[in-house]
């Protein structure tokens, strides 16, 4: 997902992210990264719930989670 985003293929990166979440239902890092990517892509209404879900499960989380929740 990161490589596709940097390459400028945002839609493919998001598809990859949703597929990764589907395959790894309990990986909150993937969930949070997808939420961040959606926010970066101008879709914060779709990204915020994913970030909130990841934050809810992880009592201690990276600072960047808070940044994207702020956005």
Q: pLDDT tens digits for 12-70?
A: 999 999 999 999 988 999 999 999 999 999 999 999 999 999 988 887 778 888 888 88
Contact 5, 13 (CB under 8 A): yes
Global confidence as pTM: 0.83
User: How many structural domains are present in the chain?
Assistant: 1
CATH number at residue 26: 1.25.40
In the predicted structure, residue 9 carries a pLDDT above the cut 90 = yes
42 DSSP assignment: T
Residue 70's pLDDT is what?
A: 84
In the predicted structure, residue 11 carries a pLDDT above the cut 80 = yes
Chain centroid, CA 16 distance in Å: 11
CA distance 64 to 57: 16
Domain that holds residue 8: 2-70
Structure tokens at 70: 């702020």
The position carrying tokens 């596709």 is 4
């Amino acid at each position: 997902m990161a490589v596709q985003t940097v390459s400028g293929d945002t839609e493919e990166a998001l598809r990859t992210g949703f597929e990764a979440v589907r395959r790894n239902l309990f990986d909150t890092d993937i969930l949070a990264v997808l939420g961040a990517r959606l926010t970066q892509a101008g879709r914060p209404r779709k990204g915020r719930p994913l970030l909130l879900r990841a934050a809810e499960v992880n009592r201690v989380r990276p600072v960047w989670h808070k940044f994207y929740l702020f956005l």
